[in-house]
Amino acid sequence: MKYGLLFAFFPALLGAATSCENLTSLPLPHVIISLATPVEVGAFPAPPGRGRGAAVYKTLPAFCRIAATLKPSTDSDIRIEIWMPAAGWNGKLQSVGNGAWAGTISYPAMATALAAGYAAASTDTGHAGNNPDFIPDHPEKVIDFAYRSVHEMTVAAKAIVAAYYNKGPQYSYWNGCSTGGRQALAEAQRFPNDYDGIVAGAPANYVTRLQGSQVWTAAVTHQNDAGYIPPTKYAAIHKAALDQCDALDGVKDGVIEDPTRCTFDPKVLECKGEDGPSCLTAPQVEVARRIYAGPTSRSGQNIFPGLEPGSEMGWATLSGPKPMDLAVDTYKYLVFRDPKWNYLTFNPDADLARADETTSALMNSVNPNLQPLFAHGGKLLHYHGWADPGVPPGNSVNYYKSVLEAMGGKEKVENSYRLFMVPGMGHCGGGDGASTFDMVSALDQWVVQGKAPEQINASKVVNGAVVRTRPLCPYPQVATYKGSGSTDDAANFSCRVNRHVE
């Protein structure tokens, strides 16, 4: 990244490196640095409520901790933190994303970045608490949450890093999943010069359609008691889907490698007699079919992808006893501006169109023109679990295809943007598949060495032990068994094009 403009505004940054404590006096527009303190090895106090994750803080190296408040508007109150290694800095910045409504600093992700040698940055996106309470009567805070907070944090972080080390980061990366994936694509589209490389995981980037689809799923689940599928039946549906589609890739391993090849119809589970835990009633079959299909318009056109076969164990996310709060709250507070709005009244045709005309559309990050990012050598590494039960994975495939169409095809895009679909993985992790992998290292190699990832190694970890490894392949390639050797060893698989999705 170039820092000429930054240093032109802040010539003091060109002088000697600044001690951690003296960073409180750094002159930055609408930035108030409230904390600048050295933290000794393992001395960072674990944030409350982090459980077993607290152990990671005990092994952190010494670092300079900066906390600041950003006020780009009269109603902005964006909290950020910047952590900078006291020694062993790798010369790079890694900013990390949030989940759901955010409202907190992402300390665990910052700790992971710091431990890897990065200066780390995170923001609460401009409000406190993972809830929508900030929305009513605060349009500027909605803008902060939608996209402004991340950009402002990025600008401030680069300036603070430059002052501390007497040089800015040589490379800057974004790493986020879910809301953090939406933030990733917002940066790529709105502020393409902020980052040299971006990791976008399971991005919730088409907010009006995604949250509408999530509300719709809850509505069709609960429109009548007869159609509701209790969580005790999820295992039976999951097993039936695997029985039909697991072996389509030539390997029976409890994972559907490519759900788009699976034509599973839950009618195979329809009860032959009385209702029971291993069968579905006729109304439940219809609800299951609709969950897989996704919402359609009055004319029968698909509006948004449904969930994929293999996702059934997570169906409580959208089809459990109560709807997803995030989705319902989006429509209550941003679309209808009525806290008493009833999700059971959701109308896909009218309500999705209404959403596109409200401030909720500020969060949509669906612009397929990534040329400004690619023009300066920026890289986008995008991933999504095929078994995601919250953000339908077809959304990522649709966005990827839209970029290819807008920018002239795969050959024009593959040196800058690649999508990796993860078989059997749930939302940002977990699930039946190999869901432990290092996207940031793959991105770093791509940016620094120009080596695009042809595959990314992934592991399935059970009780701390690796029980399987598999290659993740750039879409539309899939991991294909070579025909000999253990099917739990990635070395016995290669990435090949799946003709079914070309």
Chain centroid to CA 151: 17
Q: State the catalytic residue, choosing from 427, 432, 435, 444.
A: 427
Residue 468's nearest CA partner among 484, 482, 488, 492 is 488
Q: Are 437 and 428 in contact (CB under 8 A)?
A: no
What are phi and psi for residue 467, nearest 5 degrees? -110, -10
Tokens linked to 142: 């909605």
Q: Are 96 and 121 in contact (CB under 8 A)?
A: yes
CA dist 108 and 308 (Å) reads 30
CA dist 196 and 177 (Å) reads 18
CB neighbourhood size of 501 (10 A) = 15
Residue 93's nearest CA partner among 37, 141, 162 is 162
Based on the residue annotation, tell me whether 178 is a catalytic residue of this protein.
Answer: yes
Q: State the catalytic residue, choosing from 144, 329, 388, 444.
A: 388
Tokens linked to 473: 């392949």
Q: State the catalytic residue, choosing from 122, 178, 319, 416.
A: 178
379-385 and 417-422 as β-strands: parallel, antiparallel, unpaired? parallel
Q: Are 82 and 160 in contact (CB under 8 A)?
A: yes
Based on the residue annotation, tell me whether 427 is a catalytic residue of this protein.
Answer: yes
Q: Are 418 and 474 in contact (CB under 8 A)?
A: yes
Return the active site residues. 178, 388, 427
